[in-house]
Amino acid sequence: MQGTSPEEVFSKFKDHLNDLLHHTITKASLLQIVYGNRAFLEFRLGQTSTAVIVGKGYHLFLSQALEAEKIKVRRYKLRTLAYAYRIGSGPNREDKWLIRWEYQPSEGVFRALHPRHHCHLPTELTFGRRILNLDRLHIASGWVTIEEVIRFLIQELKVKPQSADWDFRLRASEAKFREWTERVV
């Protein structure tokens, strides 16, 4: 990603993500905190993290931590350090939720042993003689992009998209994500 500093790169990324959200599922905007070559994105209201309404009674909670690594003059590679996405029934963490996708690193100083990319479901599953609590289990999920969460909301949960070309925008955004992060997902 082109930029003269991590701050400029993060600003461009925030604008890109907000533009994507505004043309797909919500007019709400993400706020950004930058510290050195790291940044954090979230929706906030009343000095607390919040989920925003996306339609049909569904709310989206989104937070991401990013790092910008300088690879050339005026060129940075973005790295996602952690993310949390949650689809719920209201803006607060006390509200009922349908699914959570999360990623936390397990390398470096982090010592957690559960699957790094995982999801949670607010239910129990009887499996033979066992009762599995899917709320507490870290169910391996693979990398989940925000574009895929948006796609799930529109296509599967029937949230009305903000624009007719939502699919094109998601595909274009995924291509940019691959370019900026040098990832294959």
Partner 1 sequence: MSSQEAVQLEERLEDTGTLSLTRTEAEGLFDHRARKLVGMSGKDALKRIRAGKCGSNLAWEELSVFSALLK
Residue 72 makes CB contacts below 8 A (sequence gap 6+) with none
Q: Which two tokens mark 96?
A: 């009922």
Between 35 and 127, whose beta carbon lies closer to partner 1?
Answer: 35
Residue 117 beta carbon to partner 1: minimum distance, rounded to whole angstroms: 13
- Provide, rounded to whole angstroms, the least separation between the CB of residue 168 and partner 1: 27
HEC readout, the chain: CECCCHHHHHHHHHHHHHHHHHCCCCCCCCEEEEECCEEEEECEECCEECCEEEECCEEEEEEEEEEEEEEECCEEEEEEEEEEEEEECCCCCCCCEEEEEEECCCCCCCCCCCCCEEEECCCEEEECCEEEECCCCCEECCCCCHHHHHHHHHHHCCCCCCCCCHHHHHHHHHHHHHHHHCCCC
Interaction site with partner 1 (CB under 8 A):
7, 11, 14, 29, 31-36, 38-40, 42, 44-45, 47-49, 63-65, 81-84, 86, 93, 97, 100, 102, 104-106, 109-114, 120, 136, 138
Closer residue to partner 1 (CB): 34 or 159: 34
- Toward partner 1, which CB reaches closer, 116 or 154? 116
User: For partner 1, which is the closer residue by CB, 29 or 162?
Assistant: 29
At closest approach, how far in Å is the CB of 98 from partner 1? Answer: 13
- In angstroms, give the least distance from the CB of 158 to partner 1: 25
**Least distance (Å) between residue 134 CB and partner 1:** 11
Residue 144 or residue 154: which is nearer to partner 1 going by CB?
144
